Structure 1
Amino acid sequence: MFNQQTKRPTALTRRALLVNGAVVATLAVFGSQMAVVEAGAQALASNDIRPFRVNVSAESLADLRRRLAATRWPEAETVDDRSQGVQLSRLQALVRYWETDYDWRKAEQKLNSLPQFLTKIDGVDIHFIHVRSPHADAMPLIMTHGWPGSIFELLKVIGPLTDPTAHGGSAQDAFHLVLPSIPGFGFSEKPQGTGWNPDRIARTWDVLMKRIGYKEYASQGGDWGAIISDSMGRQAPEGLLGIHVNRIERSTTIPPEVGKALKNGDPAPENLSEEEKTVFNEAREFLSKGFGYAAIMGTRPQTIGYSLADSPVGLAAWFYDKLADWVFTRGEPERAFTRDEILDNITLYWLTNTGPSSSRIYWENSANTAMPGIITVPVAVTIFPGEVYRPPEHWAERAYPNLIYYNKVDKGGHFAAWEEPELFSVEVRAAFKSLR
């Protein structure tokens, strides 16, 4: 169908044409005998997109249990709260379950029920999940996890976003999803050299989407996924329709006088509104008491990496501490996630030994001296109440001059897609509605 005035394909037909290559590629990977996939199969081979399945050895799982059983525990904290870190009783209960009852094979099955692939870009194998919507005119969307999360934090939204008619939405809300693992995370390869900062990953994601066959697409992310989406927005590659983030970078949005007061330890400027003063005070609290993890990984990822590689309990404590800090149910991640969900994520890091390699993104970002440019693409923002930094809309506009959507919701934290998948999906649908 064509627009009679411009003689160009209508949005429906154009998007169907743009994603046709991805349809063909997906069919080819799964060995379809249909003649239509032959050309796609040849292109697929040249671009080296390979199917992937998780299959951890029994020896690796037995080694994990041996290490858990041999843990040398510290004494309990000397306070009755979380001010010294993860409480001994909480971690011991989680580790006891990990050692005796947790079943990684269920997590494996969950991943292997989805179409997974590897493809080499810029010398690094990228792992990704690619789930196409049953609705042909769905919008292609690349979604990126953060730290200490992984692709596990995005799995709950696959159904609502790819098949919205089964989850209270309409066919016009549908997305084709690409969920990559950041280099050095999970099943993506660990870079052997430096330079893998968010800007480079953003360029890699554009290559990935176009290699799959999507000439037009959108990007979504929280935590590092938001920073990578911001980088994509600054680069504005051809075909990027817009971005949605559920975490906003403080340095690009905070007014200069407010940033100066934070840096110098001064009181909040008097001219701030009550909402702005709340944001200021929360930022000060985070920088003074909650930023130590990032300072360590941003300066000494190799040093902390030895503990993360050698001790599963050390890895679990490092991650559990941030889960507890950032979920909406502050201090109680078990109220946001099941123990199996928490351990799926931690065990993925352990089995792939990506505690150290995932830490390096903090160092890479600190070492990135490139001046940030203006984000000109359309940007949508959702503020979840449990997020660490929740700037008002007029602060967000400092970083996003083309802000097309801004909304505050009433539940959910830093791991929004993981904690509140239905609400998160509603927000992503609303965020991109005007770009379809």
Structure 2
Amino acid sequence: MKKGVKTYVSIMLVIILLCTFVTPLAFAKNDNGRGNGKSTLKIGFYDIDQTVEWARFAIDKMFAKGIIKGYGNGIFRPQSSVTHLEAIIMALRVMGWEDETEQIKDLPYGVKGIRLLWDGGYYYVAVALNKGIITLEELKGFNPNQAAKRYEVAKYVVRALGMESRAKRHMDEKLPFKDSRAIPKDAVGYVYVITQELGLLEGYNNSFHPQKSISRAEMAVLMNRLDDFVEDDEKGPDNQLVGTVRRVDVERNRITISREDGDKTYEVMEGAPVYINSKYRELEDLRQGDEVELVLGSEGKVIFIQVTKVSDRVTVTVEGLVTDVDTKKESVSVFTTELKGKAFVGILAENNISGRHYELTTEHERFVLTGDTDGLDDYLGKKIIVIGEPRDVPNIYMRGELLDVEKFYEANTRNTVEFDIDDGAS
């Protein structure tokens, strides 16, 4: 016969890009020329290696948010140059203005004269013109399919933020770059604002490389910083959620987060990237209490997870008697009062066979209680903890062996603590 003996547990408690295109084929879908058709999202790029590890987080996030996409078949081309049209489209998406392309009925005269490979591009240029990202004068020599230089992208971003007047006040600034003379005079203020005031674009090797075309990897980093900057004061799209991790089910690829409107569970797409401190991690690395940002795909599944604040994790070792394990709530209850002697947890019942007596039904057996049983009446039908010595002296009128009671406690008292079970506990 199995004996219920004192159990000790140590609980490690945890307190807890839409596709940027080069040719129209990248948009080959039923979208009436404006990029509104549905496409199937696939996560992960084969050509993101250690040479662009510095941009991996930004690439994954901007891709998940639809700011920038790949070329299909897991190809991103991080070193490829970004064209003027692509740079404008990305800026419009980050600023939340892409939908305004649908409101353009008649294209401005200056836009009609541009040579584009994709008809939908005219509407993006029209919105960019309306927002002051590009001027009518600049449209006269505008080549949308030409690679955009770093200083030109600086102009687009500063204007998108409505900071052109600030840039014009700094046109005579001395910039801390060895190649500052290579920056056109009418672009100095824009470069100053974006590098010195906003910190959205950086140089390297003490140079800004203004005449160098901006790569897709660099653009992803810039757009991610811009996205963070404009999101500070604005509500994000419906497919972007923030909340606190309540539970992670690694086996079923699910995550439950707490928000103001309550807890909700989401299915996580296979292979969805998880980032903690901008480092690539796995779903199992998330912990209860982590503050996260989720991006949902068109099917409502999570396609990107970023931990925006790691939970304060305190490791606590608890010694005591396990009184309950709730698999649905994923919690364990521990009676923490020091127990001397053998302890048994069970439900107290009364039996009148061969005289009135108490019985304790545990997980494995039934005991007839003898000894110090005064006061047990108050706990009939309740879960209690009994300290005592079992005696293998069965009585034909009594079911089970005897248990001499030395002390007893109600299981659900202030000395019983419930802990959430953390999947990473050991």
TM-score (norm 1): 0.21
Q: Which has the larger radius of gyration?
A: 2
Give the structure with the larger strand fraction: 2
TM-score (normalised: structure 2): 0.21
More helix by percentage: 1
